Amino acid sequence: MAFYYDEPSYTFSEYLLVPGYSSSECMPSNVSLKTPLVRFNQGEEAAISMNIPLVSAIMQAVSDDKMAIALAIEGGVSFIFCSQSVEDQAAMVSKVKNYKAGFVTSDSNIKPGQTLADILKIKEETGHSTVAVTDDGTSRGKLLGLVTSRDYRISRLPLSTKVDEFMTPFQSLMCAHEGITLKEANNYIWDHKLNTLPVIDENQNLVSLVFRKDYDTHKENPDELLDSLKRYVVGAGINTKDFEERVPALVEAGADILCIDSSEGFSEWQKLTIDFIRNRYGDNVKVGAGNVVDREGFMFLADAGADFIKVGIGGGSICITREEKGIGRGQATALIEVSKARDEYFEKTGVYIPICSDGGIVYDNHITLALAMGADFVMLGRYFARFDESPTNKFNINGNYVKEYWGEGSNRARNWQRYDLGGKEDLSFEEGVDSFVPYAGKLRNNVQITLSKTKSTMCNCGAITIPELHKKAKLTRVSSTSIVEGGAHDVVLKDNNILPVK
C-alpha cells in the first residue's frame, strides 16, 4: 500500500510570521543578509558566501551574462542557463569574469592597420569604448596604443581611416609594469587623472588593463560579490547528460560554482554527476544539486557530496509539473521538512549544507518566510525575468509593458536534459508554459525595495542575521478567512484619476 502523509502540504501564503521581541539594536540598517552558498564544517566559514540571499534561476528567460553582472553588483549570484551549447555558455561565464576585475584581460583589441569602421564594430559587439591596439590584435600582443571615444569623431573622420592615424600612441601613454599591486595601480590612476592604466611586461606586451570606473563602481556598490581577484562571482547550470564535456569548459571559463539543473534530484544521475566532479576536481569545484522535497531526498544528496541543495518541485509560476504528472509538494511544507533534515545532518556530522528554496515565491514577503523556515537563500525566476537585465524581449500589450518568460520544460526551451529519465533525447510533453510577466524596470531598484522589506520583517522577529532568524522565527498557519483579512477589505479603493466634487 502507498505511503500517506498525515497532513496536507502547505505553501507560503498559508503562513504568517508572529512578531518577536525587538531590541533597540533591531534596525534595518543593522541587518546583515550575508549567507553561505556552499557547505562548510562547524567552526569554519563557507568558501563562498553571498551578501544577499538571492540567486537567479537556471533559465533561458532569466540568467545570462547581463543578469549575472547586475545581480553580482547587488551581492547575489546568477546561474547561467545550460540549455545552450557548451561553447556559448562558457563564453557567457567568461564575459562575466572579464567584465570587472582589478586587472582586466583586454577583450577589445585591434591591429594598427585596421580602420575606424572596425573600432565601431567592436564597440557595438562588446559595448566597450576602450580598445587596445596591439601588433597582432590580441590581448597579449605588443602594445602600440589605445583608442577611446575621445580619439575620434565619426562626423569628422572617414570610416576607412586607419587606427594608427587617430589612436593615442604608446609614447603618449602612461603605463605600469607587471607586478604592480591593485592599490598601487588605483593610486597611480588617481594621481595622474587617468581613466585607463595599461599594465605591460618587460617586452611591452600588454598584460592587463586597470580602469578608474571599476574603483568607482566598487565604492558605489559595497555589497558587490567579488572573488579573490576582484572579479564578479558567477554560477553556471549543468545537466546530468553532457557533464563530462560541460563541466571542464565551465571551470576553464572561470565559473565559481555549478548547479545541476533538474526537475527532480533524488536520482542516481545526480550522484554520478557529483562523483565525476569530485573524482576530477576534488572539493575545489563547488556544485549544488536538487530539487528535492523531503528528508530522504536531502540526505541522499548530502551524502553524495552536494555543496548546497535546492528544495521545490512544481511550485514555479511557469511550471506545470504538478498538473501534468501529479508530483510535487507544497513549498512551505517541503522546505520545513528539508530544513529539519539539514539541522539533523549538521548535528550528526558537523557539516552545514545550505538550502536553496526554489519556487513558490509570489510576493516579497514569501522570501522572508522562506528564510524563516530554514532556507539560506532563494532561487527566483519570474521575479528576475521582469527586469531590464533579463535576456528577453519587452512588449507593449494594450498599453502595458511586459517581458517574455518561459519555462525550461516548455516547447520553446526544449530543455529535455533537465527532465531526462534515461529515455530518448526529446520532450514527449511539456512541463512548463510560455508566458509574459509585467515589466518592472531596473533590477537594482526592485531588489533594494524587496530586501528593505526583508530587513524590516526580520527586525519585527528580533533577528538581524539570517541564522538568528532561523532560531527566533515563530510561524503560524492561517485560515482562508485570515488570508482575505490580511489584504485591503471592506473599503472602496481610491482611483487617483477621480476628481473631488465641488
Catalytic residues: 319, 418
Q: Quick one: CA dihedral 49, 52, 55, 56, positive or negative?
A: negative
Contacts 24+ apart (CB under 8 A), 413-418: 413/59, 413/60, 413/61, 413/83, 414/83, 415/60, 415/83, 415/261, 417/82, 417/83, 417/239, 417/240, 417/241, 417/242, 417/261, 418/83, 418/239, 418/261, 418/262, 418/263
Can you name the residues that pair with 290 across neighbouring β-strands? 310
Provide the 8-state DSSP code for 232: B
Tally DSSP H helices, then E strands, for the chain.
16, 24
* Residue 55 contacts residue 48 (beta carbons within 8 Å): no
Retrieve residue 202's grid coordinates: 618587460
Cell of 249: 569548459
CA distances from 241 to 49, 224, 261, 270, 286 (A): 28, 33, 11, 10, 18
Maximum Cα–Cα distance across the chain: 83
- How far is residue 451's CA from residue 440's CA, in Å, rounded to a whole number? 16
- Give the Cα separation of 411 and 386 in Å (integer): 21
Q: What is the DSSP string of 9-21?
A: ---GGGEEEPP--
* DSSP strand pairing (77-80 vs 54-56): parallel
For residues 375 and 37, the answer to whether their CB atoms sit within 8 Å is no
Q: List, edge to edge, every strand of the sheet that includes 206-211.
A: 176-177, 196-200, 206-211
The closest of 209, 191, 189, 190 to 199, measured between CA atoms, is: 209
Letter for the amino acid at 427? L
- Integer Rg of the chain from CA: 25
Q: Which of 395-434 are b and which e, b meaning 16 or more Cβ less than 10 Å from the residue's Cβ?
A: eeeeeeebbbbbbbbbebbebbbbbbeeeeeebeebbbbe
The x, y and z cell numbers of residue 373, run together, are 523556515
Cα 60 to chain centroid distance, Å, stands at: 13
